[in-house]
Amino acid sequence: YEIPEWVAYKLTVEMMNSPKSPRVQDFNPDPAITTTSAHYHDYKQSGYRRGHLVPSADMAWHKEAMDATFLLSNIAPMLESFNDGIWLELEHNVRDWSRAYKEVTVLAGPVFDSPVTTIGKNEVLVPKMFFKAILTYEKDEPKVIGFLFNQTTPVHSRLEDYIVTIDSVEKVTGLDL
């Protein structure tokens, strides 16, 4: 499909409080992928943005980590209104939660049973839906929250409208989170 099945990472308050590396917009195929790979040309004039699954701002604490977020193995086609709207809002919230709870674990990815189309010469799959699940601990008790988004929804409302159970995310993705 030329997009990641899922990504997972930890985000800590120390990472958020570290000096930030400058953002470099240099999307490249991942050299670790030995089979065919998406190319940044696949996105040109497709109507889709190169949407980060691990946001570059979450990895700005370390230049290598941030550079890795621009590999196409971390990117999926997203509509501009989705990528710059509700998805970005959740990214900001995750950073706020990492500061409030000291550490969060984030899992995110596409829902593969809902393709919209493909783009580019490499036929990069365009998912209709994306998920994000966040885990943290409060007084040694786990706290989790899940989100499911339909990126083709014309107007994205409040973030609270997309909260779902982790079981719901697992059911549509087939993943055991």
CB atoms within 10 A of CB 30: 16
> Which of 41, 52, 62, 92 is an active site residue?
52
By C-alpha distance, which of 151, 127, 118 is closest to 42? 118
What sign does the CA torsion over 75, 81, 85, 86 have? negative
Burial of 26 from C-beta contacts in 10 A (0-12 / 13-18 / 19+)? exposed
Active site residue 41: no
CA dihedral for 148, 84, 29, 115, sign (positive or negative): positive
Instruction: Quote the radius of gyration of the chain (alpha carbons, Å).
Output: 16
Q: Which two tokens stand for residue 48?
A: 């889709």
Structure-block tokens of residue 157: 């409302």
Closest CA to 52 of 62, 37, 63, 67: 67
Helical (H) or strand (E) element with 119: strand 103-119
**Secondary structure class of 4 (helix, strand, coil):** coil
Active site residues: 52
